[in-house]
Amino acid sequence: MSLTRVLYRMYTGRSPTDYTVKSYLVTVKTDVQLELDQYLQEKGVGAFMTALMEKVLLAEAQNPYTVIFEFICEQYPEQAILALEMLNPPKNT
């Protein structure tokens, strides 16, 4: 029995058929998609990505990663500093 069928049986208590397993997978996928969409909405990731892509496309820079880094530093300076500190922790002397 496949893992999907085992999980279906565990969560529903019913014996799976091909139809019920497919239906279950669609329901689970939909639930996960809704959770992810809600997270992205709450964090403003969609608006951020739209603004970032506009900046990159308008700049037509030779190095788009520089534009991305500058955008993040301009728009989210505190988070940029925290990220840089995490990536480059102070060295103990």
pLDDT tens for each residue of 29-88: 677 778 888 888 899 988 999 999 999 999 999 999 999 999 999 999 999 999 999 998
Look up residue 46 and give its two tokens: 């969609």
pLDDT at position 1 over 60: no
* Tokens read off for 3: 């893992």
* Whole-angstrom distance, CA of residue 62 vs CA of residue 86: 28
CA distances from 54 to 35, 49, 73 (A): 27, 8, 16
Higher pLDDT, 31 or 19: 31
What local confidence, expressed as pLDDT, does residue 31 receive?
Answer: 74
Neighbours of 18 (CB within 10 A): 8
